Amino acid sequence: MKIPRDLSAGDLEKALRRTFDYQFSRQVGSHRRLTSTQSGSQHHLTIPVHAPLKPGTLRAILGEVALHRHLSLQEVLLKLAL
């Protein structure tokens, strides 16, 4: 599955909330911070509020989720159904 090229920060945040139980924790300027405590430890993601997100930025964010959840990037993409 390929990384989407037209995904906004809001759409990514909704998908992460729905699928991996991330919650909004704060915003500084144009960057939002999401936090998840589902795996026994806190995990923080910083998402720039851009539309659309650049593919490299999106790949890095999804890579962090994959590393924290012990999944591959492809598995994260399938679960998020982007």
Per-residue pLDDT tens, the chain, 82 aa: give them: 889 999 999 999 999 999 999 999 999 999 999 999 876 778 999 999 988 999 999 999 999 999 999 999 999 999 998 7
Q: Which residues pair with 35 in a beta bridge?
A: 23, 44
Domain spans of the chain? 9-77
pTM equals 0.91
Q: How far is CA 77 from its chain centroid?
A: 10
**pLDDT given for residue 67 in this prediction:** 94
Q: Are the C-beta atoms of 82 and 9 separated by less than 8 Å?
A: no
**pLDDT given for residue 40 in this prediction:** 73
Q: Are the C-beta atoms of 16 and 10 separated by less than 8 Å?
A: no
Give Cα separations from 61 to 8, 19, 49 (angstroms): 13, 15, 13
**pLDDT given for residue 39 in this prediction:** 63
